[in-house]
Amino acid sequence: MINKMGLTEDIKYVLLSEEQIRARVKELGAQLTEDYRGKNPIFLCVLKGAVNFYADLTRSMGDYMEMDFISISSYGAAQKTSGIVRINKDLDSSITGRHVIIVEDIMDSGLTLNHLTSVLRTREPASLKIVCLLDKPERRECAITPDYVGFVIPNEFVVGYGLDFAGTYRNLPFIGVLKPEVYTEAK
C-alpha cells in the first residue's frame, strides 16, 4: 500500500503544467509533420505510460499516419529496470520497410528503449526513431538518446500525464513530483 492523501494532495509541486505540456506537444507534432511528410509513418505507442502523450501528439500530426500499440514490461526487481524487455502485447502491423516512430513517456536509464529498439530493428523498418516526452539524461546507463524530446528534466521521480507510481496517478493532467511521505511510508 502507498500512503495516499488524495490525488492532488499527494503532489509536492507541479513540474510541468497542462499548458506547458500542450504547447510543447503541439510543437513536436508540427516538427514530426514536417519531418515525416509523405512518408505515412507508424506511430508506435508504448503502453501504458505514453498513452496521454500519444493521444495528444498524434492529434497534432497534420499528415497521414498509422497507429499501433505495444505493451512491454521489464524483467527484474520492482523499481530497477533490467533492460530485458518482455513483450506482453506485440504490434498488430508489420513494420518492415516502414518509417516507425516509437512514442514513449520518459527515458531514464535508457535500458528499456535500448532493448526495444534492438528487437524492432530485426524487423527491418525503413527508419526507427524515438520521441520521448521527458528525458532524464543524468540517469542514462547506455548509449542511447531520444531523437525528439519534449522536456529535459532533473533526476526526480515524476507522475501524471501517463506516468505512474505503483499504477496510480496516470490520470493527472499535469506532471508533478510526489511528496516523499507518499512512498517513504509505503509498506
Binding site for ligand IMP (CB under 6 A): 49, 81, 104-112, 157-159, 163
Q: Tell me the number of residues near Mg ion by CB under 5 A.
A: 1
Question: Omega before 48 cis (within 30°)?
Answer: yes
Q: At residue 76, what is the residue type?
A: G
Q: By CB under 5 A, is residue 110 in contact with Mg ion?
A: no
For ligand IMP, the closer CB: 103 or 106 = 106
Is 108 assigned a catalytic role?
yes
Q: Which of 108, 135, 147, 164 is catalytic?
A: 108
Q: Which helix (H) or strand (E) holds 160?
A: none
Q: Which of 35-43, 44-52, 88-96, 151-159 is the region at the interface with Mg ion (rule: CB under 5 A)?
A: 44-52
Helix (H, G, I), strand (E, B) or coil at 54: helix
Q: How far is the CB of 72 from Mg ion (least distance, A)?
A: 8
Q: How far is the CB of 34 from ligand IMP (least distance, A)?
A: 27
Task: Name the pairing type of β-strands 148-152 and 85-89.
Answer: unpaired
Taking the C-alpha atoms of residue 117 and residue 127, their distance in angstroms, rounded to an integer, is 11
CA atoms within 13 A on the CB side of 152: 7
Q: At residue 110, what is the residue type?
A: G
**Residue 163 interacts with which of Mg ion, ligand IMP, none, CB < 5 to 8 Å by class:** ligand IMP
Q: How far is the CB of 38 from Mg ion (least distance, A)?
A: 30
Which residues are catalytically annotated? Answer: 108
